[in-house]
Amino acid sequence: MTSSTPPSEPAPPPQPNHADLPRQFPGRDAMVRELTARFPQASGGASPIRGGSKPALAALEAVDPVRYAASRNHLDGAVSGLSPYIRHGVLSLAQVRDVVWQRMARGPGLVSEKLLQELAWRDYWQRLWIRLGDGVWENLEPLKTGQPEAAYAQELPDDISEGHTSLACIDAFARELSDTGWLHNHARMWLAAYVVHWRRVRWQAGARWFLCHLLDGDPSSNNLSWQWVASSFSSKPYLFNRANLEHFGAGRHCPCCPAAAACPFESSYEALQARLFSAPQGGERASGGQAKGEAV
Amino acid sequence: MDCPVLWIHAEALGPANPALLAHPGRPAVFVFEPGLLEGAAGPISLKRIVFLYECLLELPVTIRQGDGVEEVLAFAARHRADGVVTSAWVDPQLGGIAACVAAALPLQVLEPEPFVDLPEPVDLRRFSRYWRSAGPRLRPDPAATETPT
């Protein structure tokens, strides 16, 4: 079916129904109170990130493909913040693509296509979801860590989800996830690697945690990204070390970290691989680059 | 279909929703249903519900809470509709609701503009294989970058 169907007749006058959820509120606080009462199973409060097309269009207007390509791997880089709006169709991928094309055409020369590629990651995940369905909850390939499945815990430890690991970076990421419902893509990868490789927890437990909170969360982008870190949808597990985190982490975490003197990430990649995995890890090591995309 | 209602779901909460564009002024409904609120991952946080709600308040849509199929069909009956129009989905849970709605009423599914048209079958084994096909089709037309004289 196509979208070229003729418009149908106008609707008859609306009939009020007492079971319709309200649309009028004196302010955001009143709306949040109403929703808290109506959805008692939902935890927490509201995010500072607002829904709707106005904030979405403002974020779209601010998109800069050149700055994005140059700085997107850094926590304070010029990322777009569009992912929650794309995930829920407030903005379509095609609409964002067109804007990126316009901005790329403005430059005097070749502009990096990195932002286009990150949008393509979203399209790729969606196509995989259609193909896999609920299979996104299962390992797509065997893990390459050399560890048996049974070595991984079923549940996420509370100290991680509550932000009480005493690792300043990990706790900050967990709190940001819980408070805002959004994380920089690099922070997602670091957090996921910590959960799966350092704490040896099944990726599904971490994926459920993210999906509870992420405004852009969908089981395809989220779970397949976790599988990419875990190595059930990649040729090797993703790792990072302290140097990588300090380089891209905007210098926020290590200076005040109570565990800085005994940092579990302070090591070479070779030593970390030997410590965390029992299978030989060939090929390239973690470079700090975003090898897969979700939070554009 | 002369007087349909529109089913708006959580993958198309923008003004460019194809159903809203094709049938302006027709009654539209969104349902907070169990598959959205408590899917395989467990309950979603209030942040996510507030975000969705703020998107919905910008759209001409009646907001309901309950079983997705029952609510859509009840909304259609309330407006004496002869069918339901919606937009394409990816989430298989939405597909389940759509199948049940379609068993009771004509259902028209409108496709949004694709991000990129790719020849089938698309190789999705790794992103690099997908990108090998998608990349050349996504790069801006060099002619479009020329400055008009």
Q: What global pTM score does this model have? A: 0.91
Amino acid identity of residue A67, one-letter, is: R
Residues B96 and B26 in one domain: yes
Of residues A251 and A31, the one with the higher pLDDT is A31
Instruction: Pull the structure tokens for residue B43.
Output: 């309950």
**pLDDT (mean) for A194-221:** 97
Residues B90 and B127 in one domain: no
Q: What is the pLDDT of residue A11?
A: 58
Rounded to whole angstroms, the Cα distance separating B42 from B36 reads 10
Collapse the DSSP code of B14 into the 3-class scheme (helix H, G, I; strand E, B; otherwise coil) and give the result. coil
pLDDT band at A2 (very low <50, low <70, confident <90, very high): very low
B16/A95 CB distance under 8 A: yes
Third-level CATH fold of A53-134: 1.25.40
**pLDDT (mean) for A117-143:** 96
Q: What is the pLDDT of residue A291?
A: 46
Residues B149 and B82 in one domain: no
Q: For residue A17, how many other CB atoms are within 10 A of its CB?
A: 11
B116/A92 CB distance under 8 A: no
Q: In DSSP terms, which residues pair with B131 in a beta bridge?
A: none
Residues B36 and B65 in one domain: yes
Q: In DSSP terms, which residues pair with B63 in a beta bridge?
A: B30
Residues B67 and B139 in one domain: no
Domain region containing B84: 5-110
Question: Would you call A138 an interface residue with chain B, using a CB distance cutoff of 8 Å?
Answer: no
CB A11 within 8 A of CB B25: yes
User: How large a percentage of chain A has pLDDT more than 70?
Assistant: 87
C-alpha distance from residue B64 to each of A51, B26, B51, B70 (Å) = 18, 17, 16, 11
Average of per-residue pLDDT values in chain A? 89
Q: What is the pLDDT of residue A3?
A: 41
pLDDT in tens, B101-141: 999 999 999 999 999 999 999 999 999 999 999 999 998 76
Tell me which residue in B43, B46, B115 faces A123 most closely, judged by beta carbons: B115
pLDDT band at A27 (very low <50, low <70, confident <90, very high): very high
Of residues A192 and A112, the one with the higher pLDDT is A192
pLDDT in tens, A228-287: 999 999 999 999 999 999 999 988 899 999 999 999 999 999 999 999 998 666 544 544
Question: Would you call B78 an interface residue with chain A, using a CB distance cutoff of 8 Å?
Answer: yes
Q: What is the pLDDT of residue B148?
A: 40
Residues B94 and B139 in one domain: no
Of residues A289 and A162, the one with the higher pLDDT is A162
Q: What is the number of domains present in chain B?
A: 2
Rounded to whole angstroms, the Cα distance separating B88 from A257 reads 47
Rounded to whole angstroms, the Cα distance separating A190 from A188 reads 6
Residues B128 and B102 in one domain: no
Q: State the best of B9, B45, B94, B138 to mutate against chain A, taking most chain A CBs within 10 Å.
A: B45
- A124's CB contacts (< 8 A; 6+ apart) are B124, B127, B130, B131, B134
Question: Would you call A117 an interface residue with chain B, using a CB distance cutoff of 8 Å?
Answer: yes
- B106's CB contacts (< 8 A; 6+ apart) are B1, B4, B82, B83, B84
Q: What is the pLDDT of residue A283?
A: 42
CB B63 within 8 A of CB A21: yes
Residues B77 and B14 in one domain: yes
Going by the DSSP 8-state scheme, the letter that residue B143 receives in this structure is G
Residues B128 and B93 in one domain: no
Q: What is the CATH number of the domain that holds B20?
A: 3.40.50.620
Superfamily of domain A138-276: DNA Cyclobutane Dipyrimidine Photolyase, subunit A, domain 3 (1.10.579.10)
Residues B122 and B55 in one domain: no
**pLDDT (mean) for A12-20:** 68
Residues B89 and B26 in one domain: yes
- A29's CB contacts (< 8 A; 6+ apart) are none
Q: How far is A152 from chain B (nearest CA, A)?
A: 18
Residues B62 and B120 in one domain: no
Domain ranges of chain A: 53-134, 138-276
SS3 annotation, chain A: CCCCCCCCCCCCCCCCCCCCCCCCCCCHHHHHHHHHHHCCCCCCCCCCCCCCHHHHHHHHHCCCHHHHHHHCCCCCCCCCCCHHHHHCCCCCHHHHHHHHHHHHHHCCCCCCCHHHHHHHHHHHHHHHHHHHHHHHHCCCCCCCCCCCHHHCECCCCHHHHCCCCCCHHHHHHHHHHHHHCCCCHHHHHHHHHHHHHHCCECHHHHHHHHHHHCCCCCHHHHHHHHHHHHCCCCCCCCCCCHHHHHHHCCCCCHHHCCCHHHCCCCCCHHHHHHHHCCCCCCCCCCCCCCCCCCCC
Going by the DSSP 8-state scheme, the letter that residue B145 receives in this structure is G
CB A247 within 8 A of CB A288: yes
Q: What is the pLDDT of residue B149?
A: 35
**pLDDT (mean) for A154-177:** 97
Question: Would you call A142 an interface residue with chain B, using a CB distance cutoff of 8 Å?
Answer: no
| pLDDT at A294 > cutoff 50 | no
pLDDT in tens, B21-71: 999 999 999 999 998 898 888 899 999 999 999 999 999 999 999 999 999
Q: What is the pLDDT of residue A33?
A: 97
User: How large a percentage of chain A has pLDDT more than 90?
Assistant: 74
Question: Would you call B112 an interface residue with chain A, using a CB distance cutoff of 8 Å?
Answer: yes
